[in-house]
Chains A and B, each alone.
Chain A
Amino acid sequence: MSKPMYRVFRQKMIIITLLISFVPLTLLGYTIYYGFAKAYCQRVEQQMTARVTACSQSLDLFLEERKVILSAIAKSGSLSYYNDPSHLRELFETINNQTGGGLVDLGVIDSHGDHLAYVGPYSLEGFNYREQAWFNLVMAKGIYVSDVYMGFRQMPHFVIAVKAGDAAGDWILRATIDPEIFARIVTTAQTGKTGDAFIINSAGICQSPSRFNKKEILAPSGLDPSRFGSSTTVVKKNTVSGLRRVHVGKWINNGNWLLVVTQDPDENLPSFSDMKTEEITIFSLALFAIVVTTVVTTGMSVNKLQERDRELEELNAHLIQTDKMAALGKMAAGVAHEINNPLGIIATKAGWMRDLLEEEAFRNSDNFKEYDGALRKIEEHVERAGKVTHNMLGFARSMEPVMERVNINGVLKKTLEFLDHHAQINNIRINTGFDDAIPEIMSDRSQLQQVFLNIINNAVDAIEKQGTITVETAKNAETLVIDIKDTGKGIPDTVKKRIFDPFFTTKAAEKGTGLGLSITYRIIEKLGGTIRVKSRKGKGTCFTVVLPLTLSKKTIA
């Protein structure tokens, strides 16, 4: 996987992990919030219903109380008595004192509709009510509570009128109810910022003032009373502005008026916009923690994956290299053997010809020198070809290492001795940094010598003239590490990939067969170790050979 792909993979992982973290959390939060809101609304409705019930009972009691008092007075008194304004005033004050107020005025009207006596703030004596709807209704029903109307005083009000009769005939005792005291009782049912309580009649006309929307008395309420049943009814409506409203209504005054309590059920429900700074801070911190954790853990996972992929890639490369070596080894062995035999024959034939040249007849021949020169060339090239097949067979041979106790520092010193003269000629300094504490290990001395010789010989070739080769040994927990560094020209990346391939060489044809590092690789592998190379072009190369302190079963086998 390339680097950009890891970046995309990392981003995808982060997004998916965040989604996995947030989506269920959000859904859970929403579900809890939804359940809470629903329960809260039900609670609000229950409270509104309770308030409507309580308030309707108070209002009915208020009206009933006054109806009873007026009926009792009307039945016990006479028209002649209450026609006297002083008696009427006395009665008016007694009622207000006994009931805590509530009457605005009190009047006596005869059967013709003439207002005979009046106690109150207006001057209504002499008015005739025969044409008024309420007058005819009270005369027919005996007792009547009117809707709110303007009347002669041109002020919204409603009356309770009671028909009585005596020797002088039928008459009506009529009281006007103080709309403020009545409205005050109604408003006890409203709560909160959005709560409202008002009364409407069967036509939907407001009988008491509404808190909102400028709905004065006698203004249309906008509600359809027919939606409210005989018992306490809950009606839910959305306003034009999209707000939810719950209306709870109960019929009062013998089903003539409807007490309506209305409220926004979400009024006190907490919302995100109501969150306080501390809550926002805590929420933000939690959010930050989740994001950071996700990014860090994802980063770690992807890094781990990247590392694992790299190891796998190295392992694959190693396996491929091993397979390649094995295949080439077999091929090299076959080829070398097949070439060796003809080479042997050529060498023997050339030898035979040289033997014959030694005879006098040939020695005196004019072309003796030509024959001799040609034979020398044949022998020289047979030897050269022999070296190639020798190396090929060295690469291919499956001879098991001969294990013995080996002092690595000693092997390196011995190897460096071989090359010392060559290095001096080329003005190459050899530095050593041997760890004297490294223990002897079980390995193959001569094969290790071949390995070090190959590497150091390459280092000398890489430096050419003037430079330094540094050979260091060190001990790790379970391995010995041998570093061979040179200050040569370095290995380009394209070459580095192939340096352990058989027959790969950058040297001139007569100088290298391309088998040295292949053999090195194969030997180190057989000895249970590893070899790696680091190189920077123009700076130098470092070969690191790692050998096990103890042999694995595989190596021993």
Chain B
Amino acid sequence: MEIKVLVVDDEIDFLETIVKRLEKKGLHTVGVTSGEDALIKIKEKYYDVILLDIKMPGGMDGLDALKEIKSRQPLAEVILLTGHGTVESSVEGMRLGAFDYVLKPAKFEELCEKIAQAYMKKSDQDNKIRKANIQQLLRFPGRVFDQE
């Protein structure tokens, strides 16, 4: 199953390249340059992992976008891209539900590793939810099914 990744960063050169590299790694990757565009994208499609730059110009910065994403796609794991100057914001972001943060300039290997971890977490979550749904579906009064 293809991992779907959304990258949100206002630096177009960085965005283009990182999208290409992740694509080359076999991930289905889409890039947008603002929080507003990201919200449009997640309406269209479900993403497993979202790479979100904290410091973005315009009306919606990374943390605002995070709140919105989490309210719309609670199961999507968000990795924050941050500079040293915004480490505090990243900590705040993790409090708001982000999976982790990566310091820029990030090493590509480190980034891939974080994406993998985030995806694994999300998969676990999905599995748990799936199992819970199945259990709910098969629950009848007076009968117990083997969960396995």
Which residues on A are within 8 Å of B, measured CB to CB?
333, 336-337, 340-341, 343-349, 351-352, 355, 382, 386, 389-390, 393-394, 396-397, 399
Given A343-B105, A344-B11, A393:B24 Cβ within 8 A: no
Nearest CB of A to B7, in Å: 11
User: Are A397 and B84 in contact, with the CB atoms below 8 A?
Assistant: yes
Contact with B104, one of A333, A340, A352, A399 (Cβ below 8 angstroms): A340
B87 close to chain A: CB less than 8 A: yes
CA distance A382 to B107 in the complex (A): 11
Q: Choose from A345, A349, A355, A386 the contact partner of B24 (Cβ within 8 Å).
A: A355
A contact residues around B107 at 8 Å (CB): 347
For B108, the chain A residues whose CB sits under 8 A away are 347-348, 351
Flag if A399 contacts B11 (CB, 8 Å). no
Within 8 A of A (CB), among B52-105: 83-85, 87-88, 104-105
Given contacts A340-B105, A344-B104, A345-B11, contact A351 B17 (CB under 8 A): yes
Question: A393 to B83, alpha carbons, bound, how many Å?
Answer: 9
Measured in the bound complex, the distance between the Cα atoms of B14 and A162 in whole Å is 155
Q: Find B84's partner among A336, A348, A349 (CB 8 Å cutoff).
A: A336
For the complex, give the distance between the alpha carbons of A336 and B17 in Å: 22
What's the Cα separation between A394 and B85 when bound, in Å?
9
Interchain nearest-CB distance for B54 vs A (Å): 12
Which of chain B's residues have a CB closer than 8 A to the CB of A348?
Answer: 13-14, 17-18, 21, 105, 108
A397 shortest CB reach to chain B, Å:
6
CB pair A345 B13 closer than 8 Å: yes
In the complex, which residues of chain B have a beta carbon less than 8 angstroms from the beta carbon of A333? Answer: 84-85
Contact yes or no, A399 B18, CB < 8 A: no
Write out the residue numbers on chain B whose beta carbons fall within 8 Å of the beta carbon of A340. Answer: 83-84, 104-105
Q: What are the 3 closest A-B residue pairs judged by CB atoms, nearest first?
A: A393-B84, A344-B105, A348-B17
- A-B contact sample (8 more), CB < 8 A, given A341-B11, A341-B104, A396-B85: A336-B85, A340-B83, A343-B105, A346-B105, A351-B17, A351-B21, A352-B20, A355-B21
- A444 CB, min distance to chain B CBs, angstroms: 15
Residue in B85, B105, B107, B108 whose Cβ sees the most chain A Cβ within 10 Å: B105
Cβ-based interface call for B3 (8 A): no
Residue ranges of B at the interface with A (Cβ–Cβ < 8 Å): 11, 13-14, 17-18, 20-21, 24, 83-85, 87-88, 104-108
A-B pairs with beta carbons under 8 A, tally: 63
In the complex, what distance in Å separates the CA atom of A351 from the CA atom of B17? 9
Q: Is the CB of A382 within 8 A of B84?
A: no
A527 to B55, CA, bound (A): 29
Instruction: Say yes or no: A345 contacts B21, CB within 8 Å.
Output: no
Complex: A337 Cα to B83 Cα, angstroms: 7
Query: Hey, which chain A residues are within 8 Å of B84, CB to CB?
Result: 333, 336-337, 340, 389-390, 393-394, 396-397
A residues less than 8 Å from B104 (CB atoms): 340-341, 344
A352 to B24, CA, bound (A): 9
A518 to chain B: closest CB distance in Å? Answer: 15
Chain A residue with Cβ nearest B109: A351
With CB as the reference atom, state the residue of chain B lying closest to A347: B105
Question: Which chain B residues border A389 with CB–CB below 8 Å?
Answer: 84
Chain B nearest CB from A312 CB (Å) reads 35
Closest residue to A386 on the B side, CB-wise? B105
* Nearest chain A residue, comparing its CB with the CB of B17: A348
Q: Which residues of B lie under 8 Å from residue A351 when comparing CB positions?
A: 17, 21, 108
| Interface of B: prevailing SS | helix
Nearest chain B CB to A513 CB, angstrom units: 14
Q: Give the residues in chain A near B13, CB-CB below 8 Å.
A: 345, 348-349
**A352 nearest CB neighbor, chain B only:** B17
With A340-B105, A344-B11 known as contacts, the answer to whether A349 contacts B83 (CB < 8 A) is no
Question: What would be 11 A-B contacts, judged by CB atoms less than 8 Å apart?
Answer: A337-B85, A345-B11, A347-B105, A348-B17, A348-B18, A348-B21, A348-B108, A355-B21, A386-B105, A396-B85, A397-B87
> CA A398 – CA B20 in complex, angstroms?
35
A386 to B18, CA, bound (A): 18
Q: Which of B13, B14, B17, B18 has the most CB of A within 10 A?
A: B17
A162 and B84 alpha carbons, distance in the complex (Å):
141
* CB contact between B85 and one of A344, A349, A355, A393 (< 8 Å): that residue: A393
Contact of B106 among A336, A344, A352 (CB under 8 A): A344
A389 to B103, CA, bound (A): 12
A355–B20 CA distance with the chains assembled, in angstroms:
10
Give the CA-CA distance A333 to B11 in the complex, in Å.
19
Query: Which chain B positions have C-beta within 8 A of A386?
Result: 105
**Which residue in chain B gives the minimum CB-CB distance to A400?**
B88
Distance, CA A345 to CA B12, complexed state (A): 9
Determine if A397 and B85 form an interchain contact, defined as CB atoms under 8 angstroms apart. yes
A92 to B25, CA, bound (A): 169
How far is B20's CA from A349's CA once the two chains are assembled, in angstroms? 10
Docked-complex contact B14 and A345, CB < 8 angstroms: yes
- Measured in the bound complex, the distance between the Cα atoms of B106 and A346 in whole Å is 11
Q: Choose among A340, A348, A389, A393 the residue with the greatest number of B CB atoms under 10 Å from its CB.
A: A348
Task: Write the nearest CB–CB distance from A267 to chain B, whole angstroms.
Answer: 98
CA separation between A351 and B131, bound complex, in Å? 40
Report Cα–Cα, A394/B84, bound state, in Å. 7
A352 contacts B21, C-beta separation under 8 Å: yes
**Considering the chains assembled together, what is the distance between the CA atoms of A336 and B18 in angstroms?**
21
